[in-house]
């Protein structure tokens, strides 16, 4: 029985083929997941650009109410509020405009004693 077990090679080639196939599948899976990651990052970048391009400026006018007395006499202002406005400008990082600022290289100074 032991001799038959040692001489039996029927499943050896299949095992080697399965290891090769599994290796190729894992490598393909890693490459595929990497591409999915790049696609998701690109789409999220597009969403961030869209949000950065939203114009958040606003403007509203004020209003006032004049006092009126019976018979059409004058009166003055009963209440008023001022209007307001704000203009949105481009921020530093809107539309991927962020730059990494690097300092220029500087020569080393002589050592002090």
DSSP string, the chain: -HHHHHH--TTHHHHHHHHHHHHHHHHHHHHHHHHHHHHHHHHHHHHHHHHHT----EEE--EEEE--BTTTB---EEEEE--EEE-----TTGGG------PPP-PPPPPP-
In a domain, 108, yes or no: no
- Whether pTM > 0.75 for this model: the answer is no
Domain extent at residue 33: 11-87
Q: Which residue has the tokens 């600022």?
A: 101
In a domain, 31, yes or no: yes
Kindly report, residue by residue over 64-93, the tens digit of the pLDDT: 888 877 666 667 888 889 989 988 887 766
In a domain, 102, yes or no: no
Structural domains in the chain (count): 1
In a domain, 61, yes or no: yes
In a domain, 79, yes or no: yes
Kindly report, residue by residue over 18-72, the tens digit of the pLDDT: 888 999 999 999 999 999 999 998 888 888 888 877 888 888 898 988 887 766 6
In a domain, 53, yes or no: yes
Residue 101 has a pLDDT of 64
In a domain, 73, yes or no: yes
- Length of the chain (residues): 113
């Amino acid at each position: 029985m032991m001799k038959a077990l040692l001489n039996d090679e029927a499943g050896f080639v299949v095992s080697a083929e399965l290891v090769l196939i599994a290796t190729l599948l894992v490598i393909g899976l890693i490459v595929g997941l990497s591409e999915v990651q790049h696609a998701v990052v690109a789409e999220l970048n597009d969403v961030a650009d869209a949000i950065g391009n939203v114009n958040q400026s606003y403007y509203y006018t004020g209003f006032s109410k004049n006092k009126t007395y019976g018979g059409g006499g004058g009166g003055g202002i009963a209440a008023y509020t001022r209007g307001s406005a704000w203009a949105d400008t481009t921020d530093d990082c809107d539309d991927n405009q962020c730059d990494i600022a690097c300092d220029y290289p500087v020569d080393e100074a002589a050592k002090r004693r």
